[in-house]
Amino acid sequence: AQSVSQHNHHVILSEAASLELGCNYSYGGTVNLFWYVQYPGQHLQLLLKYFSGDPLVKGIKGFEAEFIKSKFSFNLRKPSVQWSDTAEYFCAVGWNSGNTPLVFGKGTRLSVIA
């Protein structure tokens, strides 16, 4: 079955630290890749997405992600986090086969401390 794994359940960082959140998906084929962010008490919002082309994609608020096809990975990065980045981050994958909806990872909770 198609699945998405996020390696870290909870990450705690100090402000200005660098961030990398891991995301791997279960098997190949053509995929669309997404990172969503959920701020406390809010709904999911799109952070960035990859459909094709340059495997390094840039999103909002200084986030970027790199698609490495050989590793089935789509890791999220930010060079310097801020307190306002405290949120839960979800990786999602859409396989280009049929009508299967996006499959989400379990999420990584990021806490940024001053």
Partner 1 sequence: NAGVTQTPKFRILKIGQSMTLQCTQDMNHNYMYWYRQDPGMGLKLIYYSVGAGITDKGEVPNGYNVSRSTTEDFPLRLELAAPSQTSVYFCASSQGQGNTEAFFGQGTRLTVV
Does residue 92 touch partner 1 according to CB under 8 A? yes
Does residue 104 touch partner 1 according to CB under 8 A? yes
Binding mask 36-75 for partner 1 (x = CB under 8 A): x-----xxxxx--x--------------------------
CB of 92 to partner 1, least distance (A): 8
Beta-strand relationship, 87-95 and 73-78: unpaired
C-beta closer to partner 1: residue 12 or 46 = 46
Specify the residue for token string 């998906």.
Answer: 25
- Could you tell me the CA-to-CA distances from 35 to 6, 32, 73, 114 in Å, in that order? 11, 11, 12, 25
